[in-house]
Structure 1
Amino acid sequence: MCVVNALQWLPQREKWHLQSIIEVRSERKVADKVEQAIRYYGSSRKAGAKEFAKWIQAHWAIENSLHHVMDVVFKEDASLSDVGFSAENMALIRRLATNIIRTMDSGRGITDARQNATYAPNYLRELLGSST
């Protein structure tokens, strides 16, 4: 990881409140193939590499857990919604469903709760707050 805090040379840095540029190099092995990646981040904070590493790792942990649920449970990557705002609307509905399940039934996994809501109308009504 490389952090650059001296950005006086960069035009328009004030417009974006840019204080730091961070470069992260990573490597992962998939089967017998090694994949390398370089990612860049911009930040409005000045900090050292250790602090940025913690923040970036926390960001990706949240991001990965959310996308895992969206793709594995809701098959978001296979979605064919692409007319108008349908993709954004369906993504919002998926996130809403996930948040309702996590709030109302935290003991049940998202996959189980989604299936139960499909096959058990009373459970779905309970999630949606309806008593009828």
Structure 2
Amino acid sequence: MITVKGNQKKLYQVLIDYCLEHEPLAKTESKDIDHGRQEKRWVEVWSLPTFFTTQWCDVQSVVRVTRWGCRQNKDYDNQMFYITSLSPQGQKLSRVIRQHWQIENNLHWVKDVIFQEDQAQQTRGNAPQNFAIFRSWVISLLRLHGYHSMTEAMAMISHKLPLLLSFCTS
């Protein structure tokens, strides 16, 4: 599953147009009330347009997720597009997308926001990849030792070198 974002302007526009011009094969709706947020979500699925077959081998489906709700007394709405090699089945793709978001929230968001990976100064050779692996390893170690909030973990253990080192040997 690949998220198609606005920075992929041509592909993003093609998907918007395609979804506006064609009826989805499947559509599922769900509602969540969690973490101070009320959200309603539509997941709509189309089979892959024929003009994609030459550019994207193995892709079978286009998915549009529309979310809207209220978070901290502020209304929001957004739309995300995905292309995937999975067959166009609404419920199945809805579950896969939720799992995809969970990975995004539990790893990538932490690396981007808490560890500020996008502002990293390492740019030469393999340094960016090595530091990305190191950050992932640190997150895994902290979660393995019961820390769910990385901000809390860093505040609690950042000046306790023996405790930090014990994570590597236990």
Alpha carbons of structure 1 residues 4 and 115: separation in structure 2 relative to 1, 3 Å: same
In structure 1, the residue matched to 2:47 is: 5
Q: TM-score, normalised by structure 1?
A: 0.69
> Which runs of structure 2 are paired with 1:1-132 in the superposition (5 Å)?
1-5=43-47, 7-8=49-50, 10-12=52-54, 16-29=57-70, 34-71=75-112, 73-76=114-117, 79-81=119-121, 83-84=123-124, 86-103=127-144, 105-106=145-146, 110-129=150-169
Task: Give the deviation of 1:123 after TM superposition.
Answer: 0.9
Whole-angstrom CA distance in 1 between matches of 2:82 and 2:92: 13
Judging by fraction of residues, say which structure has more strand. 2
CA RMSD across the alignment: 3.3
The one-character-per-residue Cα deviations of 1:53-105 (angstroms, maximum 9, x if unpaired) are 1211121022112244335543445x3425335444333221111112223x2
Aligned residues: 127
Q: TM-score, normalised by structure 2?
A: 0.56
Whole-angstrom CA distance in 2 between matches of 1:108 and 1:30: 22
Larger radius of gyration: 1
The one-character-per-residue Cα deviations of 1:13-63 (angstroms, maximum 9, x if unpaired) are 6x5201111122223456776544332211112132222112111210221
Whole-angstrom CA distance in 2 between matches of 1:71 and 1:100: 18
Whole-angstrom CA distance in 2 between matches of 1:80 and 1:106: 27
* Paired residues of 2:147 and 2:153 also in contact (CA < 8 A): no
Structure number with the bigger relative contact order (C-alpha 8 A, sep ≥ 6) is 2
Greater Cα offset, 65-74 or 55-64: 65-74
SS in structure 1 at match of 2:59? coil
